[in-house]
Amino acid sequence: MIKNILIPQDGSENAGAALEYGLWLARKFKAGLIGLHVVDVVALEGPFLHDLSGSLGFEPFLNFSTKMREALEARGKTIISAFEAACAKEGLACESSVGYGVVASEICDKARLADLVILGRRGLNARFEYGLLGSTTEAVLRRSPKPVMVVPERFAGPKRPLLAYDGSPTASRAMHSAAEWASAFDLPLTVVSVAAENEGDVAFLKDAENYLKPYGVRASFVPLKGDAPIAIERYCKDNGHDIVFMGASHHSRIVAMVLGSTSEHVMRNVEVPFFLER
């Protein structure tokens, strides 16, 4: 059960959407929220600061690092104050802090005390980044010790959850989360499992059916054929599913460096909330 939700905040629209999703989930699960803003140590280095200093109203390189840190810390406190105000408005318990360090590392460290991390697909520096996932979001996905939910820029309460199940330990944990979600929100849950074209029936679906029976959720079980990443992506889009639950399957000993080809493909190509279990 989700009782502690970590929502990193950087003042971006994506982080604002993550907060909306967090408030929505906290109301349903009666969970507490954890707000975190990280003063990025990387932002205190390099030529990027020369341009930024002018916009902050002080001469570049004149007591630069001190003034820059003070400005970033003041901004962080403003962001966290807005987070606390949003929680108070909804009558939700929260705690918050301003950290200092490498953003992804600080988030992953704080995640040890949470049940779920909610992140926007991209952050404050989205215009400087390429691809559908921001660098911080991608780093947290690869290293977080707890499940991560990546959300789009606009909030919309999901109503058609999809679970991709392959029998792996991480997929089994994703199935538990999907079951809790579907039960709490009284939503139908669709479970898909993929077999290669030359393979027989998908055996994992029967296991999923047996697991879900005690939850009493309205579940349907769909066998798919073909290449798993493409099959899951197409099924999700064609059938209007608006949140995907998956495990970070992998075939590498370097666990912290991989998400798994299937989960990574689906995450990058399906623009709905994505709940990843590691």
Res 174: pLDDT: 97
pLDDT digits (tens, 9 = 90+) for 141-158: 989 999 999 999 999 999
> Amino acid identity of 40?
D
Mean model confidence pLDDT for the chain: 86
Res 79: pLDDT: 97
CATH value of 161-277 in 3.30.360.10, 3.40.50.10860, 3.10.180.10, 3.40.50.620 = 3.40.50.620
Res 132: pLDDT: 46
Sequence-distant (≥ 6) Cβ neighbours of residue 100 within 8 angstroms: 38, 39, 41, 73, 106
Q: pTM for the full model?
A: 0.86
- The answer, yes or no, to whether residue 161 has pLDDT greater than 70, is yes
In three-state secondary structure terms, 249 is coil
pLDDT digits (tens, 9 = 90+) for 195-239: 876 665 667 899 999 999 999 999 999 999 999 999 999 999 999
pLDDT digits (tens, 9 = 90+) for 36-51: 999 987 766 654 554 5
- The answer, yes or no, to whether residue 241 has pLDDT greater than 90, is yes
Helices (H), the chain: 13-29, 48-56, 64-89, 103-110, 135-143, 169-185, 204-212, 228-238, 261-269
Res 251: pLDDT: 42
In three-state secondary structure terms, 119 is strand
Mean pLDDT of 122-127: 52
Going from N- to C-terminal start, the domains of the chain cover 4-151, 161-277
| Listed residue (118, 125, 144, 33) closest to 82, CA to CA | 33
- The answer, yes or no, to whether residue 5 has pLDDT greater than 60, is yes
Please state which architecture CATH assigns to domain 4-151. 3-Layer(aba) Sandwich (3.40)
Mean pLDDT of 80-106: 96
Res 256: pLDDT: 39
The answer to whether the 4-151 and 161-277 domains have the same CATH topology is: yes
Q: Is the distance from CB of 235 to CB of 270 less than 8 angstroms?
A: no
Lowest pLDDT segment from 10-24, 127-141, 207-221: 127-141
Res 177: pLDDT: 97
How confident is residue 59, by pLDDT bands cut at 50, 70 and 90? low
Mean pLDDT of 89-109: 95
